[in-house]
Structure 1
Amino acid sequence: MRRLMLLSPVVLLVSISCFAQLGEILKSAESAVQPANTDTSGLSDSKITAGLKQALRVSVGNAVASTGKPDGFLKNQAIKILLPEKLATIGKGMRLMGMGGPVDELEVGMNRAAEQATPKAKAIFLSSLKKMSFDDARKILTGGDTAATDYFKRTSSAELTTAFAPIVHQSMQNVGVVKKYENMMQSASGFSALTGSLDLDKYVVGKTLDGLFYMLGQEEKNIRKNPAAQTTSLLKQVFGRK
């Protein structure tokens, strides 16, 4: 009994020590799963806005340059414009039968139209950037990996659609997309009725926007996460504070 009483304080001390260690482990685990936010507490609103706008000018320039050139869409598998869903099955069947020429020509024409339209986006994005408020900038900086891209989607999509539509239409006329589409339908005689009505201009404009925003999002992620992409002291101050 005496021995048991002597051991009790020892057991108690060991238990307390174990619980203390467990508490530290849990705290460490909690901090490990918390998202790493950019610390902007020591930066003024003007510096945050200036840094963010500088980063977005770079992102916009890179995204537009990479898409608005020959093969900018066509050779980039992430954004290449493929046949509309209504035509995809027909196109696949034609290729299997060795009749893929008209299908390939149609895809090339759609992608060329997108490549000619995207340079128009730069001025629209930069105009939206000028209207960005301090509050917008802080929310974007502390937001998700594509918060700025999402901002541009909200503020610029309608204007981009309006700007792209006539360029895409004219480009599709110039490269003969409509004629290529008609040739494809003639080659797929017996199946063309399955496609119903199809607005190719509208489809290409929508896919052009999708591709441009995808590339803009990739550029934004790179600047946020890659120190090598933070090429100025201001970018390092704003994006390098974790």
Structure 2
Amino acid sequence: MFTRLASALLFTGLLAASTPAAQAQTKKTTTTKKTTTTTKTTTAAQKAAAAKAAAAKTAAAKAAAEKAAADKATAAAAAAAAAKPLTQTEAASGIKEALTKGITKAVEFASEPDGFNLNDDIHIPWPEDAMLMKATLSKFPGMPTLIETFETQLNRAAEAAAPKAKDIFLNALAHISLTDALSLVTSSSTDAATQFLRKATEAQLVTAFKPDITAAIDQVGAGSAYKKMTSQYNRIPLMTPVQTDLSAYTTQKAVDGLFVLLANEEAKIRKNPAARTSEILKRVFGFKG
């Protein structure tokens, strides 16, 4: 019986000793499996990321190649267009569009409050033949204020009448022939078209514009102020009477100012590619033939 008891105890001890080892082995196996699974998952993710990066790189390369091909085609087309001789029809379309654009902007600018009055390039001064009257009357009480106001009123008259000039200018564009147009667009002068238009239409413009200026002079009070000043001045002994035609003077100065503004707009189109806002302007004024 003692022998059986000893055998049982021995078996129990062996069993107890073997259980932790078995558990450790099982845990190790499980950990190994998890590590293997994690490694396989990481490897798959890396492969997917690498494949995605490779695809993106390929797409970028393709897009770059397509853009380069398109740029090359555009440059070739531009070069071909530039090499193509400029036709009279293109020149006429370009010069008329440039002048139309310039006229629109010039008239809009001149029509604004102080468009003439505060612009040193087109400000209408006292009439030259009335400068002695201005100097003389400035010594009389109350006259300095009237004198100062009068000059501003002349410019206000031009500003008020300026919108009427647009249609007059635009109608005048019809007088430009195809031959003249080609000559004008290829001119080295930055205001060639403006000067051509002025030479051809200035007299017509002055005649058509004068009634509007005359009405504006009376409307802003310049006419009554001028009559008051000339009436007083002409009564001064030994003074040569002032006989300036105020309407004619202001009309001419207003037309002069509009041509100055038009010339400035033409120069912008000729000099600055950014001012060529249409394909015909780019073609005509970008032509280097």
TM-score by structure 1 length? 0.75
* Cα distance change on mapping 1:200 and 1:224 into 2, 3 Å: same
1:32-73 residue CA offsets vs partner (Å, 9 max, x unmatched)? xxxxxxx89622222222122111111111111111232111
Counterpart check, 1:146 vs 2:191: yes
Counterpart check, 1:176 vs 2:218: no
Q: Following TM superposition, by how much is the alpha carbon of 1:96 offset from its aligned partner in structure 2, in angstroms?
A: 7.7
* Cα distance change on mapping 1:226 and 1:96 into 2, 3 Å: farther
Give the distance between the partners of 1:40 and 1:200, measured in 2 at CA: 53
Q: Percent identity?
A: 36
The equivalent residue for 2:211 is: 166
Matched ranges for 1:188-203 at <5 A:
190=236, 193-203=239-249
Worse overlay, 90-99 or 134-143: 90-99
SS of match in other structure, 1:157? helix
Asked if structure 1 preserves the Cα contact closer than 8 Å seen for 2:133 and 2:242, the reply is no
Asked if structure 2 preserves the Cα contact closer than 8 Å seen for 1:79 and 1:211, the reply is yes
The equivalent residue for 1:14 is: none
Unaligned runs of 5+ in 2: 1-81
1:163-204 residue CA offsets vs partner (Å, 9 max, x unmatched)? 211111111122222221133346767389345321111111
Give the distance between the partners of 1:120 and 1:191, measured in 2 at CA: 42
Counterpart check, 1:218 vs 2:261: no
Q: Following TM superposition, by how much is the alpha carbon of 1:102 offset from its aligned partner in structure 2, in angstroms?
A: 1.0
Matched ranges for 1:111-130 at <5 A:
111-130=155-174
The equivalent residue for 1:132 is: 176
Give the distance between the partners of 1:91 and 1:228, measured in 2 at CA: 46
Q: Following TM superposition, by how much is the alpha carbon of 1:132 offset from its aligned partner in structure 2, in angstroms?
A: 2.1
Worse overlay, 123-132 or 94-103: 94-103
- Which AA in structure 2 matches 1:223? I
* Cα distance change on mapping 1:40 and 1:57 into 2, 3 Å: farther
Give the distance between the partners of 1:216 and 1:96, measured in 2 at CA: 40
Give the distance between the partners of 2:276 and 2:237, measured in 1 at CA: 53
The equivalent residue for 1:78 is: 121
The equivalent residue for 1:157 is: 202
Give the distance between the partners of 1:150 and 1:205, measured in 2 at CA: 18
SS of match in other structure, 2:239? helix
- Which AA in structure 2 matches 1:84? P
Give the distance between the partners of 1:209 and 1:133, measured in 2 at CA: 23
Q: How many matched pairs?
A: 204
Q: Which has the higher contact order (CA 8 A, sep 6+)?
A: 1
Give the distance between the partners of 2:283 and 2:134, measured in 1 at CA: 51
Q: 2:85 aligns with which of 28, 42, 51?
A: 42
SS of match in other structure, 1:193? coil
- Which AA in structure 2 matches 1:70? P
* Cα distance change on mapping 1:180 and 1:226 into 2, 3 Å: same
Asked if structure 2 preserves the Cα contact closer than 8 Å seen for 1:90 and 1:191, the reply is no
Asked if structure 2 preserves the Cα contact closer than 8 Å seen for 1:40 and 1:238, the reply is no
* Cα distance change on mapping 1:40 and 1:238 into 2, 3 Å: farther
Q: Which has the larger radius of gyration?
A: 2
Give the distance between the partners of 1:195 and 1:76, measured in 2 at CA: 31
Worse overlay, 173-182 or 161-170: 173-182
Give the distance between the partners of 2:112 and 2:92, measured in 1 at CA: 30
Q: Following TM superposition, by how much is the alpha carbon of 1:95 offset from its aligned partner in structure 2, in angstroms?
A: 5.3
TM-score by structure 2 length? 0.64
The equivalent residue for 2:284 is: 238
Worse overlay, 98-107 or 49-58: 98-107
* Cα distance change on mapping 1:225 and 1:183 into 2, 3 Å: same
- Which AA in structure 2 matches 1:202? A
